[in-house]
């Protein structure tokens, strides 16, 4: 059974930084994709960034140049470094693992950016 555990959310002032982590456990072997999504209050969940096991990354336009997704394959862990945070980045951030045609989600971590 695959499980994802996120950490690193919190409250930060605009212009500040946070680093999110997501550790995957269970039977995971080989090629997979890990990603971060976010869901603001009253809005749909949207993709923020994704990274393949080979290191290819894709970012949503509003976070390009501010957020960096990375991963440690040996630890099955994905990170999201968020810099120059804005109030509009406030949301619950979810980690997702895509593996063998299945999607696994973390429980979410709240990020709040005050103005």
Would you call 90 helix, strand, or coil by DSSP? Answer: coil
Given pLDDT bands bounded at 50, 70 and 90, which one contains residue 31?
confident
Q: Which of 27, 23, 1, 13 has its CA nearest to residue 89?
A: 13
pLDDT digits (tens, 9 = 90+) for 4-18: 999 999 999 999 999
Per-residue pLDDT of 36-91, as tens digits, reads: 999 999 999 999 999 998 999 999 999 999 999 999 988 889 999 999 999 999 99
CA distances from 61 to 4, 50, 64, 68, 104 (A): 26, 13, 5, 12, 24
* Other residues' Cβ atoms within 10 Å of the Cβ of residue 8: 16
Pick from 28-37, 55-64, 94-103, 105-114: least confident: 28-37
pLDDT at 68: 98
The helix/strand/coil state of 73 is: helix
Confidence class of residue 32 from pLDDT cuts 50, 70 and 90? Answer: confident
pLDDT of the residue at 21: 98
The pair of three-digit structure tokens given for residue 49, joined into one six-digit string? 């960034």
pLDDT of residue 28: 75
pLDDT of residue 40: 98
Write down the pLDDT at residue 67. 98
Q: Are 71 and 34 in contact (CB under 8 A)?
A: yes
């Amino acid at each position: 059974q695959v499980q994802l555990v996120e950490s690193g959310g919190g409250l930060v002032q605009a212009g500040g930084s946070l680093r999110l982590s997501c550790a995957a456990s269970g039977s995971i072997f080989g090629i997979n994709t890990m990603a971060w999504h976010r869901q603001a209050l009253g809005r749909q969940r949207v993709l923020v960034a994704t990274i393949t096991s080979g290191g290819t990354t894709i970012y949503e336009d509003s976070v390009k140049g501010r957020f960096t997704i990375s991963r440690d394959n040996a630890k099955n862990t994905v990170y999201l470094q968020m810099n120059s945070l804005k109030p509009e980045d406030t949301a619950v951030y979810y980690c997702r693992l895509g593996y063998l045609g299945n999607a696994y989600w973390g429980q979410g971590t709240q990020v709040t950016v005050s103005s």
